[in-house]
Amino acid sequence: MGPILLASSKRAKGCRVWRVALIGCPSKYNSAQTPTDPRRGRTGAIPVTDRRLASLSQRVFNFSPGPAVLPLEVLEQAQEEMLALPGVGISVLEISHRSPAFDRILEETLHSLKALVGVGDDHELVLLQGGASLQFSMVPMNLLRGFAGAADYILTGTWGELGAKEARREGTVHSAWDGANVNYDRLPSDDEIRLSPKPAYAHITSNETIQGVQWKREPSVGDAPLVCDCSSDFLSRPIDISKYGLIYACAQKNAGIAGVTAVIIRKDLLGRSRDDLPTMLDYRTHVKNGSRPNTPPVFAVYILGLVCRWVRETMGGLAAMQRHNVAKARLLYDAIDASNGFFSGHAQPECRSDMNITFRLTSESLDAEFVKGATGRGLVDLKGHRSVGGIRASIYNAMPVEGVEALRNYMLEFQRSHS
């Protein structure tokens, strides 16, 4: 997968960091020659300088729940073009959002994302600012205000709860299922979901990052438009867009950097927005102006485009991406299940997330020791969310399998030395 394999570690600035070995690397890392890498469609590759090797050797495995690890190829292209976009003479950080150069970037990004996700003629795709948190409000402002009926929320974790809280400011909210009493360790069956008579929409969170539960199928919600906060598994697997009324996803998990959020909305639902909405909070503004009613977050859009290309060209598309992600998650879940209770998973096995693997050891002090030891090995940001505790390993698209293997090996070793 990734070019980096763990090889040795050394102590630097007070903490141990792993050096990368150049085993399995594209040839560009192994010589000073600069061959063309046809996958990346650019001329020339990256010369090996001491500085570059020093940067690479510093890199650790980053299990952050988001912002999260990015493909090395994306970082390198951004680095390479930082002073001047080829043929433009201006950095992507400096180009006008009305320039032909950004016209191309925006068009390619939208096109690439639509093709990857399978957005057809029934839906619109727009890119916004403000993160998923602003969508918690924009969804009900556009779809619930003035609607004769409630918005139904199926609550499977912390993020769904926050979404419902904002929706209550805009209208009536009905809790169609709430996993709070099972500590959000599972999803409901279809039988357990109690919809309101004529819902404005039914809302789910496809993957709860804090609890580590993930919908692998859509719940049955009848005629209600299904609205999904897809922030933490967007681009990690294929989805059937035709089943959704609206999908929103911030980019900083699988799709890019913080600062841009994708919204996919079924065209007929645009008719719900009222004319008294603030212009920038009305989905129609962004649809009508092709995601450019004002200055969009240019660099975040550019990175999203590079990530889309990486998913498609390097990883082989969303189905291949999913196989890859499932395999990575299995490495860790297998270690948990084979540990005889030394590690215990938070989520019920049938609801487990492929993105965020949540588990705990037999005591809080052992949790802390585990995290500390991991950090020393260059396996960083493994501490669980303060509301749940324990350990959380976020292994989004760009986490190389080598990183997951290193964590799995550390788990086995830690268990051996503490049993």
Q: Which is nearer to a copy of itself, 60 or 401 (by Cβ)?
A: 60
Q: Which is nearer to a copy of itself, 18 or 215 (by Cβ)?
A: 18
Six-digit token pair at 46? 């990256």
The verdict on whether 216 is a catalytic residue reads: no
Rounded to a whole number of angstroms, the minimum distance from the CB of residue 377 to a copy of itself is 12
For 406, residues 6+ apart whose C-beta sits below 8 A from its C-beta are: 6, 61, 377, 378, 379
Rounded to a whole number of angstroms, the minimum distance from the CB of residue 75 to a copy of itself is 5
Rounded to a whole number of angstroms, the minimum distance from the CB of residue 296 to a copy of itself is 7
Active site residue: 18, 28, 159, 233, which one?
Answer: 159
Q: Which is nearer to a copy of itself, 123 or 253 (by Cβ)?
A: 253
Rounded to a whole number of angstroms, the minimum distance from the CB of residue 62 to a copy of itself is 5
**How far apart are the C-alpha atoms of 52 and 46, rounded to whole Å?**
9
Owner of token pair 């990857």: 116
Q: Is 20 helix (H, G, I), strand (E, B) or coil?
A: strand
Rounded to a whole number of angstroms, the minimum distance from the CB of residue 100 to a copy of itself is 10
Handedness of CA 360, 366, 369, 373 (dihedral sign): negative
Rounded to a whole number of angstroms, the minimum distance from the CB of residue 54 to a copy of itself is 9
Other CB atoms within 10 A of residue 108 CB: 16
Q: Which is nearer to a copy of itself, 40 or 123 (by Cβ)?
A: 40
Q: Comparing C-alpha atoms, which of 155, 215, 217 is closest to residue 184?
A: 155
The verdict on whether 229 is a catalytic residue reads: yes
Q: Which is nearer to a copy of itself, 58 or 322 (by Cβ)?
A: 58
Q: Comparing C-alpha atoms, which of 196, 237, 227 is closest to residue 397?
A: 237
Q: Which is nearer to a copy of itself, 63 or 370 (by Cβ)?
A: 63
The verdict on whether 310 is a catalytic residue reads: no
Active site residue: 253, 310, 328, 383, which one?
Answer: 253
Measured CA to CA in angstroms, residue 309 lies from 238, 241, 300, 305, 313 at distances of: 16, 20, 14, 6, 6
For 345, residues 6+ apart whose C-beta sits below 8 A from its C-beta are: 212, 333, 336, 337, 352, 357, 358, 359
DSSP 383: B
Active site residue: 229, 233, 282, 381, which one?
Answer: 229
H or E stretch including 323? helix 318-337
The catalytic residue positions are: 159, 229, 253
